[in-house]
Amino acid sequence: MGVMRIGHINIRVLDMDAALHHYENVLGLLRADRDGDGNVYLRGWDEWDKYSVILSPSDRAGMNHIAYKVESDDDLDVFRRRIEAYGVEVEECPAGRLPDCGRSLRFHLPSGHLMYLYAQKTYVGKAVSTTNPEPWPDGLKGAGVHWLDHALLMCELDPESGVNKVEESTAFMQDVLDFKLTEQVLVGPDGDIKAATWLARTSTPHDIAFVGGPVKGLHHCAFFLDEWSDVLKAADVMAKNKVKIDVTPQRHGITRGATIYFFDPSGNRNETFAGLGYLAQPDMPVITWTEDELGRGIFYHTGELNEAFTTVYTEGA
């Protein structure tokens, strides 16, 4: 029972044609649909539900909502009671409110980000089929990302006033949605302020992460690649397409993943994330990073923080 994995993310884009070139030809997502309001639905070639990314035309960049898929429709009733008991207002939405999905729950995290839970989404199958499949499909474009892997959300953090939405949102994900805390960054004079957390429901290092900042927002959404060589190829694809790269190929200390950070044409940060890192088993101890080693935790090779990495991000709903 419970949350299985990330289901999709809804991103606002300023220029749909430019966004589609980026997400289809640079990342290699497959277009699934386009509705009458101009929203475009995409998925990775190794995903089986209809979409994992919704691009919505807007006059401002950022995230509208993030959604996670639960195992069964009955789980939604359980989570509705849990969320309400926690003191968070939750709305039950009818089938179709989320396109091609069954009924869903709509609520805001303590950070203010809008989240949905749902159990059913239109099944379309993998691009390689599930009968005697090939290791990858022919005709992949760009980096050929496999699937939407995770998202990192910026949460308000002001130690002087005592506001710590990272800690509040982390507690909600653990206590209500049964996420496991895999890694954390502790800062402050006494080393007891949660400045960042990584949480999982699958066996990967994280299915969602929270990092403290002056205002809430979307730091990035990440797409999975197999290995380091795929990350390097993705960097070449980005260079050929003159994509604005934020961080060139690097390894994280936190999660141990190989990474590139870059921006879509609207300014939304993306990541290509490769490598399992480790198995986040239920009894794995929490990994803690201290303030003095934070640079190495984020950018293991250089060990140096990039100030823009935590100060530049787009608004999240």
CA distance 182 to 205: 6
For residue 261, the cross-strand partners are 247, 271
If residue 270 lies in a helix (H) or strand (E), which one and from where to where? strand 269-274
User: Of 261, 293, 304, 315, which one is the catalytic site residue?
Assistant: 261
Query: Which parts of the chain fold into alpha helices (H)?
Result: 16-20, 73-85, 165-175, 228-240, 294-298, 307-311
Two tokens, residue 188:
């402050």
Residues with Cβ within 8 Å of residue 265, at least 6 apart in sequence: 13, 14, 15, 18, 19, 21, 22
Two tokens, residue 76:
């939604």
User: Of 156, 167, 183, 271, which one is the catalytic site residue?
Assistant: 271
206 given a catalytic annotation: yes
219 given a catalytic annotation: no
146 given a catalytic annotation: no
Looking up tokens 């070449």 gives 236
Q: DSSP class of residue 285?
A: P
User: Of 118, 206, 219, 313, which one is the catalytic site residue?
Assistant: 206
The alpha-carbon radius of gyration of the chain (Å, integer) is 19
CA distance 29 to 44: 5
Contact status, residue 175 vs residue 86, Cβ threshold 8 Å? yes
User: Of 22, 113, 150, 219, which one is the catalytic site residue?
Assistant: 150
CA distance 241 to 142: 10
Two tokens, residue 287:
């990994």
User: Of 8, 22, 219, 220, which one is the catalytic site residue?
Assistant: 220
Query: Which parts of 135-244 fold into alpha helices (H)?
Result: 165-175, 228-240
261 given a catalytic annotation: yes
Catalytic residues: 150, 206, 220, 252, 261, 271
